[in-house]
Amino acid sequence: MSAKVAKSNKSASKEPSALAKLYLIGYNAVQVGGWSYILYQLVNYYLLQGPEFRAQITLWDYTQVAVIIFQNAAFVEILNAAFGLVKSNPVVTGFQVFSRMMVVVGVVMATPTGKVSPGLPIALFAWAITEIIRYGYYALNIVKVVPHFVVFLRYTTFIVLYPIGVTGELLCFWWAQSYARENSVWSTVMPNKWNATFSYLAFLWIVMLGYIPIFPQLYLHMFAQRRKILGGASSAVGAASVQKKKAQ
């Protein structure tokens, strides 16, 4: 068997099965639908409804069911990467997923101040647009029909949306820590039967400070992916054009 054939067979073996592709298309399509609904809820809450509506219900009360379901469903992405169903790095995926899950479960759901933080609508807006584009790109990529504008959006909109989303997340943390500072919640002090101590306030600050080294790495990783995808495409087009001219 030639090296070329062996390489081709190896690449083919890495292709997900038809059943796996069907599952991935379904998962990504559901997520597109879910985040589209959340984006609609944001538009409806702030633009289509009047102040009387917003006086009766908070943004979190209005969106919480959809946000809890579709944001926490992102945990499946870590499993998909770990089991090789997708080519994503499980560690990078884990950081991205857990940071958002922490905002939803460990901050907004855990504190009354997190629910009314000005960072919540900011984060939800950035998350919704990002996820609609991202999951849409993944679904189309599986069937290998990805319009160029979708690729461009996937590897360009993050430049603005990623910092906006992180700003919203940190504001949620800030509002939550103010409540945790004044109220002893989700904390354990000794003595107790576990002989252990845990400070929710300290935990919030550790996570917030963790954004300092982690965010730049993830942000630069996305820029590297952008150069690889968009830059590579441009190079390939240029090379093909040169070869065509030589042939003529």
pLDDT exceeds 90 at position 33: yes
**Average pLDDT of 170-187?**
92
From 131, 169, 179, 200, the catalytic residue: 169
CB 24 within 8 A of CB 85: yes
Is 169 a catalytic site residue?
yes
Q: Which residues contact 109 (CB under 8 A, 6 or more apart)?
A: 64, 68, 115
Strand partners of residue 198:
188
Structural element, H or E, at residue 4: helix 3-14
Mean pLDDT, the chain, rounded, equals 87
Residue 245 lies in a domain: no
Question: What's the domain count of the chain?
Answer: 1
Residue 10 lies in a domain: no
Residue 2 lies in a domain: no
Instruction: Read off the pTM.
Output: 0.84
Residue 159 structural domain: 18-189+197-226
Residue 243 lies in a domain: no
pLDDT exceeds 80 at position 12: no
Closest CA to 76 of 94, 51, 57: 94
Is 135 a catalytic site residue?
no
pLDDT at 186: 81
Residue 235 lies in a domain: no
Residue 98 lies in a domain: yes
What's the pLDDT tens digit per position in 190-230? Answer: 777 777 788 999 999 999 999 999 899 989 989 999 999 99
Residue 63 lies in a domain: yes
From 23, 162, 211, 219, the catalytic residue: 162
Q: Which residues contact 147 (CB under 8 A, 6 or more apart)?
A: 140
Residue 222 lies in a domain: yes
Closest CA to 171 of 110, 106, 121, 206: 121
Most confident segment among 15-24, 84-93, 102-111: 102-111
Calpha distance 197→190 (Å, rounded): 6
Calpha distance 124→160 (Å, rounded): 14
